[in-house]
Structure 1
Amino acid sequence: MIKRDQIPAVLDHPVLDEGGKKIGEAKHVFLDDVTGAPEWVSVKTGMFGTSETFVPIREARVVDGHTEVPYSKSKVKDAPHVDVDGGGHLSEEEEHRLYDYYGMDWDASWSRANQPGEGGWAHGDGQGAAGAAGMAGAAGAEAPGRQDDAMTRSEERMRVGVERREAGRVRLRKYVVTEDEERTVPLRHEEVRVEREPITDDNRDAALSGPEISEAEHEVVLHEERPVVETEAVPVERVRLTAEEHTEQETVRGQVRKERIESSAEEAREDRGGMGPERP
């Protein structure tokens, strides 16, 4: 349990969940109006601390400059929204929603607040005595934006990063197609031709070598060439995929909030046309 003297060690220090993960920074501590003990702490969450959620600190503990609460980070971030600027107190309805969300016994707390001599529920302003926690200001918390009579001006910075993600996939696929090809080749063939020659002194002996009158046959075989097509598979090239990285310039636009500080004295000088303060 967090005690009142530990509040300065809680404010503006990290709040860790049950697993040791940082939830955010503690900004306000709310006290029980009856016991005066710390009841709730508001935690700034989100990337730039733009959200503020409530978490019970009855079972919290301060360890080495941070506060540990027995809840998960997601549990705290999803807690019901409560307006911390609502006068420094939680309304009965707001506190009841928080009790229900964190599984706390609302009836037991209400009964404790209404014990004789402990003070009852302050119905007039809608504040609960048991948990209508008042914001801890006297315990070391200063007004936001002020320190040592000086006002702090803050502004948001835009941070732009990059993330690597899958943009698509390319595959190599091999398949077979059939194409028609033409080749021209010379083909030879034989044709029969009848040659007749007269009897001369050179061929007379060959012509008279056989019988004078007879029947005979003589056969000549003719030949021709025909095209024969054969195929063979031969490697022709190697194909692979490689990824090339290209850098492109892209302009990212966002909105950031900046605080401006104006002085009423400066406004008065502007109204007088930029002249210095009037002398009596």
Structure 2
Amino acid sequence: MQDFTSVEKLQDATVYGTDGDKIGSVGQVYLDDQTNQPTFVTVSTGLFGTKETFIPISKATPSQDGLQVPFDKAFVKDAPNIDTDGSLTPQDERRLYEYYSMDYQGTDTGGDTDAARGTTAGGGVAGQDSESVVARDEQLNVGTETRESGQVRLRKHSYTDTETVEVPVAKEEVVVEREAVDPNSPEALQDTGDEEVVVTAREEVPVVDKTATAEKVTVDKNRMQDTEQVAGTVQHEDVEVQGEDDTGRRR
């Protein structure tokens, strides 16, 4: 069975409830200002261990696997919401004692007088002489902008031209032929008097006519989707913690 009378033994201990389920792990240990003995521990109970809830040490008993408290996880999570800023005021302690049905022996008339102080993993007082480093990460913010990529202009103009086409034509010519006949033939003896014969000659001449064709020209735009790769340089910063704490452990 483990000994939880010292801060080092309490650090990172696992806290179990009455139903045997794990409530969380000890985060900070708060010491009484007068006796310097552990009075409260904080337990990480929120999602991913983001919320710390106070539990009185007097209600806890050491067990083989960690720390046993006579409360279930839901009851511990509903404890008064107090900032884990390194110290507890008498007012804070009174609220916690009343929630866990314990008698409060301290006084809360001293205003801001601290009743208990918290310790971190190395045993030092939390919230004093702290230093911090801000790490920045850059990200690429990629978007699009519209700009002109070209123009198409439609312009109509008229002009005249001369076309030459060969057209085959036909014409008639008058041919006079003379032929001797027998003067005693009926044809020659026929007396018809004056006689006139008219022969009409014809010819083809080109005739020009015009027909027209029309064409409609339309300019439209089609929107096409494509993918282009862009690259940029971003800067990332990491914080490396080096050194040793009071217990000789590398941090």
TM-score of the pair, normalised by structure 1: 0.41
Larger Rg: 2
TM-score of the pair, normalised by structure 2: 0.46
